[in-house]
Amino acid sequence: MVMGWLLAVVLFFSAPQSAATFTIGGSAIAKPMTLSSADLAAMPRESITLKEDDVDVRYDGVLLTTLLTKAGAPIGALRGKALTTTVLAEAKDGYRVVFSLGELDPDFGGAKVIVADQRNGKALFDYQGPFRLIVAGDKRGARGVRMLTALTIAQVQ
């Protein structure tokens, strides 16, 4: 009995662990995708520095608009119905935040938002990641979705 339990524990810890991912989907994009840290590492990187407890903290990741463009969202071509497009960011714990595509688009609001996977050059803490939205310029951090699991892009009807 003990040998069976020990074998199960060894097999569990030696089995390859699936890489953490988040998805981009929804009715307003052409190419739904699932992205990992390796995928983000291969893309152009951006940094945002925030004050946390009076200390500067640098987050590194990929611009949200870069990811949305890659998924086929109408970034840079917003007019008419496209201006009713929203981005719903969802966390592992059920926390949700909505952005309008217009506030993110560089031709309109131009809000700098990144999907971060690093904090001060290291992987995010477990309670933050593996992916976190970081919004430059927000006075409060409530839209900095931790443990990001999904981005859903849809038009409001």
What are 44-99's pLDDT values in tens digits? 999 999 998 899 999 999 999 999 999 999 888 788 888 899 999 999 999 999 99
Domain ranges of the chain: 19-155
**Exposed (0-12), middle (13-18) or buried (19+): which is 58, by Cβ within 10 Å?**
middle
Give the per-residue pLDDT at 18: 53
Query: Whole-angstrom Cα distance, residue 149 to residue 90?
Result: 6
Record the tokens describing residue 5, joined without a space: 């339990």
Give the per-residue pLDDT at 146: 96
Give the per-residue pLDDT at 56: 94
Beta strands in the chain (DSSP E): 21-25, 33-36, 46-52, 55-63, 85-91, 96-100, 113-119, 122-123, 132-135, 148-155
SS3 65: helix
What's the average model confidence in pLDDT over 131-146? 91
pTM for the whole structure: 0.85
What's the average model confidence in pLDDT over 105-131? 93
At residue 16 the predicted structure's pLDDT band, cuts being 50, 70 and 90, is: very low
Q: Reply yes or no on whether the pLDDT at 9 is more than 60.
A: no
Q: Reply yes or no on whether the pLDDT at 7 is more than 50.
A: no
**The 96-100 sheet, strands edge to edge:** 33-36, 21-25, 148-155, 85-91, 96-100
What's the average model confidence in pLDDT over 111-128? 94
Q: What is the CA radius of gyration of the chain?
A: 18
Give the per-residue pLDDT at 77: 73
CB-CB contact of 134 with 116 (8 Å): yes
The superfamily (CATH) of domain 19-155 is Oxidoreductase, molybdopterin-binding domain (3.90.420.10)
At residue 11 the predicted structure's pLDDT band, cuts being 50, 70 and 90, is: very low
